[in-house]
Structure 1
Amino acid sequence: MHILFFLSFMVQVYSQLISPCPRLFKYEPRGSENDRWYGTVTLVSDSELSGVWLRLIFDKPSIQLGNWFGEVVTTDNKEYLIKNRNHKLLANTPYNIRFYIKHNPGETPPQLIMFRLNAKTVCPENGAVTENPATTGHLITSSVLSTTSKPSSINNGGSFVRPGGAFNHQLTNSEEDDDFFQGDFAIFNKPKPSTTSLDAACGTVVMPPRPLITHGQATHEGEFPWHAALYHAKGIDLTYICGASLVTRYHLVTVAHCVTKRKSQEALDPDSLVVYLGKYYLKRWSNAGIQDKHVSKITVHPKYNAQTFNNDIAVIKLASPVEITNYVRPVCLWDEGLNLQAVVSKAGTVVGWGFDENGRVTEQLTKAKMPVVSQETCIYSFPDFYSRFTSSKTYCAGFKNGTSVCNGDSGGGMVFPKSNTNPNNPIWQLRGLVSISVALQNQLKCDSSHYVVFTDVAKYLDWIRASLN
């Protein structure tokens, strides 16, 4: 009696599964497996997509989602992201993705309520729904899948895709070949340092008494005391190349492509670099607070890829410690949740001597607040570029409303205030490093239609701390 009741219950439950978009998603008739159901999503796009990010959202959590198309990512087992960077979805050419949901057989199974393709909601459409076909027939499928087994290759002739996969793509560069990243422009002077000593914790700012007004916005010397300028010494010339962030009295964090030989993973000679801290005016060398330091060691991430900019991060060790002043102070490393979702839609602050909207380098250290966007939003905005140069260890930020976002050099940091600190004088923590952008790489001019790619510092905390030792 109990067995008959259970079977009757399952037939009734499965017959009540309803598709939120009958044209694009269909439940398969129930098979012999009473702990899962199968369904097929049809992907259609009016433009060609290089890389597919399919986000499936259900009305309740499940035990597992399996598929034969791409890597699965979830934080709550209710919303799943299936991603395949290598797949090219042709325009107006339907492509089917089959998946299954494993659930507790004694409970009502989760139902699909919507899905998004590369950040665009495509289901439901027009509010149409259809019921799952009721049947007691058996499906012919792959072997029974456990929570640890991977699906066999039965869909579209494809195979299960593990995480990862490199892109053999290289940015073009019109500069003449040299053995280091050239940066944005050159400086031909040498500075003199000037400091006073204070004790300070990381991420704190001591507001100086001399505010400066730039284009109607108040900025201050010492407002971002961890920001440093990296120079390459060649003969008697000093060439400004990148920004960096001071994290201890001896160490700075920057991106790897700033401190490696071009098109190479080999670090520059430490003797060829000079670091300036406490600098506010790019072309002035006598303002109070400047410290210049030589470099004793450059540690490049062992998996840095000079063609794809994967793992674009490095640690610089100074030959002597900085003096903590109102103008030179370290920033805190990221100390909150590592999930990118925690900062999506939040505005981080980026500083640097970047390009303005006319392509001119700014003389004063300038700042910009840039909202972090989801990976899907970033990739969908320009698939051919961002599908190749983003990963689970990067994130994108910027505006898409015509507002210029030109501040921030390569290597410069994006900081956020720590939670539960004084909003008028917060403790700042480092989340990202400016890595690459379409505008900077191709035009050396601001382009508000593209996002900036940041190395996600939160994903490298263990490696950074090991490098500090």
Structure 2
Amino acid sequence: MLFKYRIVNVYLLLVFAVVVKCQNTVNRPCRVKSTGANGVCKVDRSCPKAQQDAESGIAPTICEILVSSIYVVCCEGATVSNVQASENSFLNGENNENNDRIVYESGEDSNLSLSERKCMEYNKDTVQRVEVIPLLSDPKPSGVLITKCKFDSVPLVVGGKPALPGEFPFMAVLGYTTTDSNVQWNCGGTLISDFYVMTAAHCVITKFGRPVLVRLGELDLSKDDDNSLPEDFGVSNVIPHPDYHPLSKNNDIALIRLSRQVKFTNFIRPACLWNTFNVRQNSAIATGWGATENGGSTVDVLQKVSLDLLEMSICDRTYGNLKYYKNGLPKTMLCAGKLKGGEDTCQGDSGGPLTVTKEDNQCIFYTVGITSFGRMCALENTPAIYTRVSEFIPWIEKTIWQ
């Protein structure tokens, strides 16, 4: 991962200052500070008395701050109620057996693609649904989604920097057998199910041969972890896209089936797949163990960098002189980088993910791109090319879930 080595003065004005604890908060007994009366902790929109006090200028007693300006307040006169939660809810202190469905966005499950349903299934422990009664004349319970993962890393502002343990639990690194029978880590990948890792096709059709080992839960390749991480998996099958073109790098995507099922943890969990052509976010996060300078050596510690998602016309100008792209880059590709230069993916980052999150849940990462190719790393006005994941959803779904 390439970035400029320079000191940057960044003034942080409380960009993200909410740490979600929430252990057994809702329905917990409490005391209202302004009156001394007994109460029960409730989501604010379920407590008419607290809203009335707030309108009168009386500050509510806060039991907990959740997310998106949702508060749990001490509600005077309230009683303990049955709170609906997911099987992984922190509200009941232990798993329940109801397997309540978690809805991430409006709409019925029948309207979701197979990969979207799998996204919900794999990430059910990162959110929980709390039923609240809105203050309406005809109240009906509605759901509030609360993120549960520990998201307390500093947002990416400039340049690249080392990742934190568990920050990118979907990250994979691919190992290849060397002439002296050792393992060399040459490409990245993305865990997308309990059996499959997604990578670039040029990472499985290489001069090194095909990968023989996939490592998950890795942070620092130079040392072992004390908590039984990382985990190594053998490779049972390698599936490059049938229309992959090695010279033009078109359809540069492949799937790797692991030799055994992955057990999800806080350090190992799949990323979701971005399903639509357009990406609403303006930037994305690239991760990998690639070189930190053009032509340099790869690094041991996983790096992260924020890159701008750019119009394809910009990359058309950069790569249009190549014979394969005289009519423009295909829609299966994505253009990303920093036009000012200085930040980029580089050698060794191939096959790794380009990901985004949504405002309502920064615990779930969506893979929008796969690191494919570029010119010299981090040159000014020279962004890189990524495989556009949304264009391959039918092939991925058919290959790994049907």
Shift of 1:287: 4.5
Indicate how the Cα distance of structure 1 residues 347 and 321 shifts in structure 2: closer, same or farther if over 3 A, else same: same
SS in 1 for 2:325: helix
Contact 2:289 2:301 in 1 (8 A): yes
Tell me the amino acid that sits aligned with residue 167 of structure 2. E
Runs of at least 5 residues in structure 1 that lack an aligned partner in the other structure: 1-198, 440-444
CA distance in 2, matches of 1:216, 1:230: 22
**In structure 2, what is the equivalent of residue 453 of structure 1?**
385
Change in CA separation of 1:429 and 1:274 when aligned onto 2, cut-off 3 Å: same
Whole-angstrom CA distance in 2 between matches of 1:283 and 1:416: 28
Q: Does 1:339 align with 2:277?
A: yes
Q: Check whether the contact 1:356–1:446 (CA below 8 A) recurs between aligned residues.
A: no
1:252-291 correspondence to structure 2 within 5 Å: 252-262=197-207, 273-288=212-227, 289-291=229-231
**Which residue among 189, 192, 196 is the counterpart of 1:251?**
196
What residue in structure 1 maps to residue 169 of structure 2? Answer: 225
Q: Structure 2 vs 1, CA of residues 377 and 216 (structure 1 numbering), >3 Å: closer, same or farther?
A: closer
Q: Deviations over 1:19-52 (max 9, x none)?
A: xxxxxxxxxxxxxxxxxxxxxxxxxxxxxxxxxx
1:281 and 1:363 in contact (8 A); partners too: yes
**TM-score, normalisation: structure 1:** 0.49
Contact 1:206 1:223 in 2 (8 A): no
Q: Is structure 2 residue 399 aligned with structure 1 residue 467?
A: yes
Counterpart CA distance in 2 for 1:368 and 1:380 is 24
Give the match for residue 69 of structure 1: none
Task: State the distance in 1 between where 2:250 and 2:151 align.
Answer: 39
SS at match of 2:390: helix
CA positional deviation for 1:347: 0.2
How far apart are 1:233 and its partner, in Å? 1.8
The amino acid across from 1:252 in the alignment is: V
Residue 229 of structure 1, CA deviation: 0.3
* Structure 2 counterparts to residues 361-400 of structure 1, below 5 A: 361-385=298-322, 387=325, 390-400=329-339
% identity of equivalent residues? 28
Question: Do the aligned partners of 1:202 and 1:332 also contact (CA within 8 Å) in 2?
Answer: no
Contact between 1:436 and 1:453, CA under 8 Å: does it hold in 2? yes
Instruction: Go from structure 1 to structure 2 and tell me whether the alpha carbon gap of 1:397 and 1:201 turns closer, same or farther (over 3 Å shift).
Output: same
TM-score of the pair, normalised by structure 2:
0.56
Output the aligned Cα RMSD. 3.2
Larger radius of gyration: 1
Give the letter aligned to residue 123 of structure 2: A
Does 2:258 match 1:325? no
Cα distance 1:202–1:390, how it changes in 2: closer, same or farther (>3 A)? Answer: farther
Q: Name the residue aligned to 1:433.
A: 370
Provide the rounded CA distance (Å) in 2 between the counterparts of 1:390 and 1:466: 26
Offset of 1:383 from its aligned partner?
2.6
Q: How many residue pairs end up in the alignment?
A: 252
Preserved CA contact (<8 Å) 2:286 2:345: no
The alpha carbon displacement at 1:201 in A equals 1.4
Work out the CA distance in 1 between the residues paired with 2:199 and 2:124: 17
- In 2, Cα distance between the equivalents of 1:293 and 1:279? 12
Q: Deviations over 1:156-188 (max 9, x none)?
A: xxxxxxxxxxxxxxxxxxxxxxxxxxxxxxxxx
Residue aligned with 2:315, SS: helix
CA positional deviation for 1:226: 0.3
Residue number among 403, 415, 418 corresponding to 2:342 in the alignment:
403
- Superposed, 1:95-134 pairs within 5 Å as none
Q: Residue in 2 aligned with 1:353?
A: 289
5+ residue gaps in structure 2?
A: 1-120, 127-147
For residue 201 of structure 1, what is the aligned residue in structure 2? Answer: 123
Q: In the TM superposition, what is the alpha-carbon distance from 1:410 to its structure 2 partner? A: 0.3
Corresponding residue SS for 1:224? coil
Secondary structure in 2 matching 1:308: coil
Structure 1 residues 56-205: aligned runs within 5 Å: 201=123
- Rounded Cα–Cα distance in structure 2 between residues aligned with 1:452 and 1:224: 21
Compared CA separation, residues 203 and 392, structure 1 to 2 (3 A): farther
- Give, in angstroms, the shift of residue 236 of structure 1: 2.2
Q: Deviations over 1:414-451 (max 9, x none)?
A: 11113x523xx342111100000112xxxxx5434411
**What letter matches 2:244 in structure 1?**
Y
User: Structure 2: how far apart are the matches of 1:357 and 1:313?
Assistant: 25
Helix, strand or coil at the partner of 1:293: strand
Which structure ranks higher in relative contact order (CA pairs < 8 Å, sequence separation ≥ 6)?
A: 2
How much does 1:363 deviate?
A: 2.5
2:151–2:363 CA contact under 8 A, matched in 1: no
Hey, what does 1:240 align to over in structure 2? 185
